[in-house]
Amino acid sequence: MFRRPWVVAGKLNNALQITALDDVATAIGLEARLPLANALAICPQLQVFDHDDAADAQALSHIADWCDRFTPLVALDPPDGLLLDISGCAHLFGGEANMLRTVSLSLGQQGFFVSAAIAGTPACARAIAYATNNRIVPEGGEAEAVGPLPVSALGADETITRGLRRAGLKTIGDVAARAPHEITARFGAAFTALLQEALGREDAPISPRKPLPDFMAEQRFAEPVTTQEVIAAALSHLARVLVFTMERQGKGARLLEANFFRTDGAMRTIAVEAGQPVTRVQVADRLFRERLDALSDPIDPGFGFDLIRLSARRVEVVVQAQRDFDPRAQDNDDVADLIDRIAARIGSRRVVVYLPQDTHIPDKATLAVPAQYHLPDAGQAIWPERYAGEPPLRPLRMFEPPEQIDVISMFPDGPPAQFKWRRAQHRIANVEGPERIAMEWWTQPADLPGNKDTRTRDYFRIEDHDGCRFWLYREGIYRREVKKFRWFMQGVFA
């Protein structure tokens, strides 16, 4: 049965050109970078899909996540390539040949067409994969392997490739036969470095998309696992191995990340943080249990996980502290443990402590920071002293930013006698103020119009007839000739 050829077309050099095509389109003579108008003239039945850079990048990122099962050093090689540093890990998969076959077969089962190669340098592997498939270049054989390949296999800029062809240099071997200084003078030092790397004479490390974890443990399964009990047991076993390894070096984990690799190519990541370095398996188990219980979308094993990995993404040196009989030390540990458990459920950014700031601006007097990392700082913070027996001068609840109110009536030279805020009207019974607070003018741009007045605020503590107490301020310095000022709600007293 005849199937219509498929191509993907995108705008290149202000013209629609083919960016990708299937085997049927290749068989009828179409190729990449062919103008779409010429392709339609050759085959009017051509089925055209729009090129989507964002979707391609997302798909490539998902494939890179899946490739983490082979090595943690995975780098993106846009628009359609990946670079894997398999140094020291090929033996885990039965050697380089078996690993190459496993990667290609697994991705092919997911619906991708894969062209892969193994070589001593990234540029050589990229060039070999461009022209052939499933080839392994022996050490020292890079120049011989890439010599017959076309210059386009280097992946250089199209202008450079076109210039090489015009100069009669059609293969990489032709370019390599010329003196390096001639190539540099005509095409630049960057291209010369790329050529030397493809020939195996120089090497350039890849830039992995994720930093290498400090410590890592993983467990592979001969048969995919699907039950929650087996998954939890495997995670606990990996935590035990990881804690033992870190303990030998006197370190503990502050950030733990668990990766679950499914057989269909999907990967799920769960991370937990701790306020103190994790040095016990029970702590890691409890944090991951809290995190898993809080997931709105539980981990779906699908057809099963064939690999589970536990990584310590951030570690610290564990300092052994001498404990006395003070019960407050145990209380601090219990508070830190509670914070970790709550943060595992709702996120570390939602569990905060407040630290005093060296400023007189009310809405900047405190800074909310994650409690997991600043609990000791909050315990040692020095807050401004209050007058004994006096009511609080500042409300406990501040609005950031302050909310503007609608003034209905005014006291003479004073605050509003009646105002509307959040659809409710308030009539003032008691007033205290004003308290004038000038803004930090040295941090504000002085050339903005009106800035000189708005840097000063007159604050009033007020109470309405229902007993609600508010903290209002008037924007700008009060003048009788000014008929209308803007009023804002800064905070609400408890």
Is residue 486 within 8 Å of 471, Cβ to Cβ?
no
Domain boundaries, the chain: 6-51, 54-198, 215-317, 397-492
pTM: 0.69
- Which conformational region is residue 232 in: left (phi greater than 0), alpha (psi within -120 to 50 degrees), or beta? alpha
Q: Look-up: residue for tokens 């592997």?
A: 125
DSSP state string for 56-76:
HHHHHHHHHHHHTTT-S-EEE
Contact assessment for residue 1 and residue 16, using Cβ atoms and an 8 Å cutoff: no
C-alpha 248: how far from chain center: 31
Domain 6-51 identical in fold to domain 215-317: no
Residue 159's pLDDT is 87
Round to whole Å and give the CA distance between 128 and 117.
6
Q: Do residues 409 and 487 make contact, with C-beta atoms less than 8 angstroms apart?
A: no
Which amino acid, 228?
Q
Residue corresponding to tokens 């089962």 = 109
Which region holds residue 134: left if phi is over 0, alpha if psi is between -120 and 50, else beta?
left
Question: Closest Cα partner for 249 from 193, 197, 316?
Answer: 316
d(CA 386, CA 393): 8
**Torsions phi, psi of 193, nearest 5?**
-65, -40
Q: Select 6-51's CATH number: 1.20.1440.230, 3.40.1170.60, 3.30.465.10, 3.40.50.261.
A: 3.40.1170.60
Please give the distance of CA 19 from its chain centroid, rounded to a whole number: 29
What is the C-alpha separation between 75 and 82, in angstroms, rounded?
Answer: 6
* SS3 of 223-251: EEECCHHHHHHHHHHHHHHHHHHHHHCCE
**Alpha carbons 246 and 278: distance in angstroms, whole number:** 10
Least Cα distance to 21 among 45, 2, 46 occurs for 46
Q: Which residue has the tokens 């913070």?
A: 381
Q: What is the CATH number of domain 215-317?
A: 3.30.1490.100
Residues 169, 328: Cα–Cα separation, whole Å: 78
Element (H, E) at 260: strand 251-262
How far is 313 from 130, CA to CA, in rounded Å?
A: 35
Average pLDDT for consecutive 10-residue bins of the chain (494 residues)?
80 84 85 86 89 89 89 88 89 89 89 89 91 87 91 87 89 90 90 91 86 89 87 91 92 92 85 89 90 76 88 86 57 79 85 84 81 81 64 78 91 88 93 86 58 71 92 82 82 88
Determine the Cα–Cα distance for residues 207 and 463; give it in Å rounded to an integer. Answer: 62
- pLDDT value, residue 330: 58
CATH of domain 54-198: 1.10.150.20
**Spatial contact of 135 and 166, defined as CB atoms under 8 Å apart:** no
For the four alpha carbons of 121, 124, 129 and 132, in that order, the dihedral sign comes to negative
Q: What's the confidence (pLDDT) of residue 100?
A: 92
Instruction: Confirm if 35 and 28 have CB atoms less than 8 A apart.
Output: no
